Amino acid sequence: MTATLSPPSESPQVRSRWGLFAQRDFRLLWAGQTVSRLGSSVTTVALPLVAVLTLDAGPLATGLLASAIWLPWLLFGLPAGVWVGRVSRRAVMIGCNLGSAALFASVPVAGWFGVLTMAHLLAVAFLSGVSSVFFDAADQAYLPELVAPEDLIEGNAKLTGSGSAAEVAGRGLAGLIVQLVGAAAGLLIDAVSFLIAAGTLLRIRPRPEPVVREQAGMLGQVREGLSFLLGDPYLRAFLCFGAAANFALMGYQSILALFLVRAAGIAPGWVGAFASAAAVGGVLGSLAARPLCRRLGAARGTRIVLLTVVPFGLLMPLAGPGPGTVLFVLGSLAVVAAVALCNIVLGSFRQSYTPPELLTRVAAGSMFAVHATIPLGALAGGALGAVIGLRETMWVMTGLLTLAGTLPLFSPLRTVRELPTAPPPEGEIVG
């Protein structure tokens, strides 16, 4: 079975000095996503600190916790793309927000009653990951329902930029909460943010429900989406880069709280502050995306960023008291800026390039592949941290991330200035 959508009842094109902010439904989506990112950024810092400070977890346990969040992509990523393509994306996103709110609220409640365990944290991490699988699959296809194709880079840039700004505030807030009331209480903020995000989605005018026609079964539709994804040279190149980069990113992020506290000698309350400083890079990357694409071309600009900005991540393992803190901030800021810019450009490309009837399957297939390496990276980071040391693991993972940035050179992306707007005619060779 496959699903097609009728055109929106109103034109999403906006020609105003306010850009997409002149469009009511986009404003609601933007507001809800921004608030949700604020809450999630608190959880990014608070959840591992709950394990470290409340349950005295070690490197392997924190690696398992980070891995549990991403493991659902291995189990449900591909079928989620097919299923979400058959139903209302908006309804899926609302349901996932409500479920996540309940999950994160359960952690402080268990803490207050003295029954919080590592098993509870792992269960919350895993189930919230399941929710994220279906939410992200729907979210990837929802923005093209609200805005015109030519506005996708603007829409993604605004969503990413405000989300990064929310992370700056949220991660700093997380450090303050940890100091004042404990890490577990910080997860309540995330629960409330999910409720607010669900409320804004409810206020968006519903689009026509998908019109489903009989076609291949679940496996056939999964195969069709993967065939398009793996057969296209551009999408395949992005897939390889994303998988390698996510392995390295999660490899060091899974031990980052431990590294900063135990190896770099940073007080726990400052962990959130450093995370906030790094999140500024997301804002910078979002602001740079549109002008960089206009000036250099989307493909060329992305290549330059990957080859010149990502290597700054090698400064992070030098973290320590005094000047070492500055090196860590510069390195993490540069990495986050590069990742944000690439996510905006590549996400917008996939949304406009992929045939609409394949979008949820191609998006879910792509996210399945690049997310599959995240739990592996988390486990590898935790295991290496326990065996060779925390600082040494940071060197390994930031080195792998730098190498991942060279992968676009081994694809058609190495020569083009602009990304194509449609797949090449059947039988035409690109390269």
- Weakest mean pLDDT among 101-115, 250-264, 381-395, 414-428: 414-428
pLDDT-based confidence at residue 10 (cuts at 50, 70, 90): very low
Q: Take residue 72 and report the two structure tokens written for it.
A: 């659902």
What does the pLDDT read at residue 213? 52
**Cα dihedral value 394, 407, 75, 231, nearest 10:** 180
Within 8 A by CB and 6+ apart from 178, the residues are: 45, 46, 49, 53, 186, 268, 269, 271, 272
What does the pLDDT read at residue 2? 40
pLDDT-based confidence at residue 238 (cuts at 50, 70, 90): confident
Rounded Cα–Cα distance for residues 39 and 284 (Å): 21
* Ordered structural domains, the chain, with CATH: 19-205+216-414 (1.20.1250.20)
pLDDT-based confidence at residue 294 (cuts at 50, 70, 90): confident
Q: What angle do CA 32, 37, 43 make, to 5 degrees?
A: 135
State pLDDT tens for residues 12-31: 444 556 678 888 888 899 99
Q: Take residue 224 and report the two structure tokens written for it.
A: 């069709």
Residue 389's Cβ-side half-sphere holds a number of Cα atoms within 13 Å equal to 6
Give residue for tokens 């997380």: 174
In terms of DSSP bridges, do strands 211-213 and 2-4 run parallel, antiparallel, or are they unpaired?
Answer: antiparallel
Closest CA to 337 of 297, 299, 300, 283: 283
Helix residue ranges per DSSP H, 20-151: 24-49, 59-70, 72-84, 89-112, 118-146
3-state secondary structure of 313: helix
Average pLDDT, the chain: 81
Hey, which of 1-15, 63-77, 231-245, 393-407 has the most confident mean pLDDT? 393-407
What does the pLDDT read at residue 4? 40
What does the pLDDT read at residue 248? 93
Q: Give yes or no for residue 196 having a pLDDT over 90.
A: yes
What does the pLDDT read at residue 315? 92
Identify the sign of the CA torsion 240, 245, 248, 254. negative
The answer to whether the pTM exceeds 0.95 is no
Q: Determine the average pLDDT of the residues in 287-300.
A: 86
Burial tier of 4 (Cβ tally within 10 Å: 0-12, 13-18, 19+): exposed
What does the pLDDT read at residue 426? 57
Q: Give yes or no for residue 357 having a pLDDT over 80.
A: no
> How much of the chain, in percent, has pLDDT values that exceed 90?
19
Q: Give yes or no for residue 258 having a pLDDT over 80.
A: yes
Q: Take residue 393 and report the two structure tokens written for it.
A: 């693991």
What does the pLDDT read at residue 417? 87
Closest CA to 72 of 120, 118, 135, 163: 135
pLDDT-based confidence at residue 313 (cuts at 50, 70, 90): very high
